[in-house]
Structure 1
């Protein structure tokens, strides 16, 4: 720290005050209704945004819904837009380490100082709406709704050329759906959040399709028939332009490469050859395809090809922290945020496809309200052994209960119960290095939730996103 002793003291005091204020703000937001408990209304958020001058209409929006792949697709879309010279605002959830990761300006999470300032700017209007609704069924804004308002305010204030907006949960009643997407992307749909979205693909697809707009262009991932039927019916009802994976866009070819995969992608306007994507798993190739098509649709309605060299450059720097990410070597430790059977299926396929470990030891901590049996069944064929544990979330299933369920799927001799995540990772590392693997190194895969992935990253010293 440079400057006079007085200047240094003032700077230290200001930094201390910012940390105190940041904790205060985060605690105030967390005190509201949690993000996983949605209320089917957009009215609260609309009321606040109206008072703020409709910041959600300050820039065009690329809106992304789906069960799996939303965050990766959003990050890839942002990277492409930045590579093409546009300024961006990106809103994603949940976060791995810091709440500020959810609001991103041109590739960089907002600073804590800017986060606090954004909260201070919008909270008088939020409190006004809360007071107005206190005696009604609407009630106060939730944790997630406050963050959505803050994000739109930040993006309008920046300002940005385009907003990349990830749905939190569902679509129709998600707080992000106050915005009308110029492009609306639906990633693959699976069973998740049954309590809120329904227990079958058709019901869930109906909620996800709620983001589609009459004037927007829809980009639709390959879907199971039940989901595809509902989405197609909604598109026909709206009469909007749509691009379907498998009909209008596709992964033409995919070859493994050092550190990732080499892709040839059929976009809306042309084939983009030899795109090196430094991410693992076939599912990431399909996420990249959706991002490419979304940007084509946004910039030229899908009629004009993007500059191939710029696309290649953007693909070369794409990242997706916490998604099949290598965070340590010797032994190799990967973290993945898979938290439902579809995500676990993609993880298992990627492990078979992209890695050659002599043995794989899984570490799992999962939320109690998830389809734990379904996740375990998808991962059992690829994990030689499983260490079950818990993360710090109060929603997390106990290690003992998870061990009981895992024992029924894996067999008790392949399951190890370790109460705390740090010890669980150490145990798994020892197991990965033990046993006869023909001289081929073993690997550790930590999975089960975004929180688990985030905490595992921090434990091995990785915090950048």
Structure 2
């Protein structure tokens, strides 16, 4: 008689539910713990049969804008009747958002199946390598295997962090997209943009097309040097492609985009801010490079009109208006501030801010200060969150004591801010056009989104 308890200890435990997959993945090294190497992911994908070689891909890096641009690229590719896979990170509300096929995140059943398909091999890699597979590496393996299994015609893949040694970089993408580079994750990537650019440039592969968003001169020099080294073709925003014009409009903006092979006028983009218009130009150039052809005007207009980017200047509620934006570094906050000036006339605008411990909280708050009448400092539910009290001390230095309150519970913080926005006279501002901006972290915004969607 066989005793089930005598099964090999290293045999994988297959999951039956989404919660079990989540638990198994979260028990691995978190995304914040890094050991710069492609050894584990290369061993993992090799055991999986190198699924990443079965589809063409567009690979994106940069400091901000990756997820929005990924969603735009995917929407354009789907309009061309290509079957797509999309891998993005981090997620806003649910882990399975990271892996999409045909424009939709994997449902619970498909997510469990994707995990079980690779679970047989995770323990083999763990046993052979100095360090076990991380959460992120396992997710990348799941995504690439799911894309191969679908099968997809094209994958749109966003790096997790950096480029050269990011786990996603086992693909050799046809098109490498580099969005604007600024300082973030300095502990891992470097203290200045040029050093960070050298790491991110690693996604530019021999023979690829490198689609480069507008960069500072020192960053551009690093990227161009890498492209020359590997023989990649370069397309630069402001030279080979770009935004010809943009006008804020109800629900977004109307843009004219100069692509690599054509100009596309009167394109409605249902997202706010000049940065999203620039993301759209980058996405268009990436798809033109991927398809090697001019796109139909009507197809481009129809595709961009469908684009969504949850948690990116997303109006989640009215009366008062509540806007969510996942800006988590000064560069991202600058884009939000410019969009607020450009597209909205909220008065008062009350901020609900929750940031991660390792982020430049003072830098983010300093950028937002001229635009916020009042700020409610809060925190999200993760251990990595800066405490509301610590953030409050930083905010008091930036805003002054009279414009800051500290409310650790996120739901209460949003309620406090909504009350202040609705009762503008309490802070000497006219009633009627008040709004709340929830920002500071993808996690904070994801948790707020979950709370507010339930109330709509």
TM-score range, shorter chain: over 0.9
Q: Report what 2:451 is aligned to.
A: 459
Q: Report what 1:339 is aligned to.
A: 328
Q: Check whether the contact 2:15–2:116 (CA below 8 A) recurs between aligned residues.
A: no
Q: Check whether the contact 1:348–1:378 (CA below 8 A) recurs between aligned residues.
A: yes
Q: Report what 1:15 is aligned to.
A: none
The normalised TM-score by structure 1 is 0.93
* Alpha-carbon separation, structure 2, partners of 1:369 and 1:212: 28
Aligned length: 440
Select the residue among 362, 372, 375 that pairs with 1:386: 375
Q: Report what 1:113 is aligned to.
A: 109
Post-superposition CA distance 1:320-348 (Å, at most 9, x none): 00000000000000000000000011111
1:180 is displaced (CA, Å) by 0.5
List gaps (5 residues or longer) in structure 2: 1-13
* Alpha-carbon separation, structure 2, partners of 1:351 and 1:252: 21
Name whichever of 31-40 and 391-400 sits farther off: 31-40
The normalised TM-score by structure 2 is 0.95
Query: Is residue 317 from structure 1 mapped to residue 306 from structure 2 by the alignment?
Result: yes
Post-superposition CA distance 1:371-401 (Å, at most 9, x none): 1111111111101100000010110000100
Q: Report what 2:79 is aligned to.
A: 83
Q: Report what 1:274 is aligned to.
A: 266
1:227 is displaced (CA, Å) by 1.1
Say if 1:25 and 1:438 are closer, same or farther in 2 by CA, change over 3 A: closer
Post-superposition CA distance 1:240-267 (Å, at most 9, x none): 1010001111100000111000000000
Select the residue among 134, 144, 147 that pairs with 1:152: 144
What secondary structure, in the 3-state scheme, does the structure 1 residue paired with 2:195 have? helix
Post-superposition CA distance 1:151-174 (Å, at most 9, x none): 000000000100000000000110
Moved over 3 A (4+): 436-440
Q: Report what 1:426 is aligned to.
A: 415
Query: Is residue 95 from structure 1 mapped to residue 87 from structure 2 by the alignment?
Result: no
1:40-439 alignment, distance < 5 Å: 40-133=36-129, 138-300=130-292, 304-434=293-423, 435=425, 436-439=428-431
1:358 is displaced (CA, Å) by 1.7
Post-superposition CA distance 1:262-319 (Å, at most 9, x none): 000000001110100000011000011111000000001xxx2100101100010101
Q: Check whether the contact 1:48–1:125 (CA below 8 A) recurs between aligned residues.
A: yes
* Alpha-carbon separation, structure 2, partners of 1:370 and 1:256: 31
1:239 is displaced (CA, Å) by 2.0
List gaps (5 residues or longer) in structure 1: 1-17
Q: Check whether the contact 1:97–1:463 (CA below 8 A) recurs between aligned residues.
A: no
How large is the RMSD of aligned CA atoms in angstroms?
1.4
* Alpha-carbon separation, structure 1, partners of 2:269 and 2:211: 21
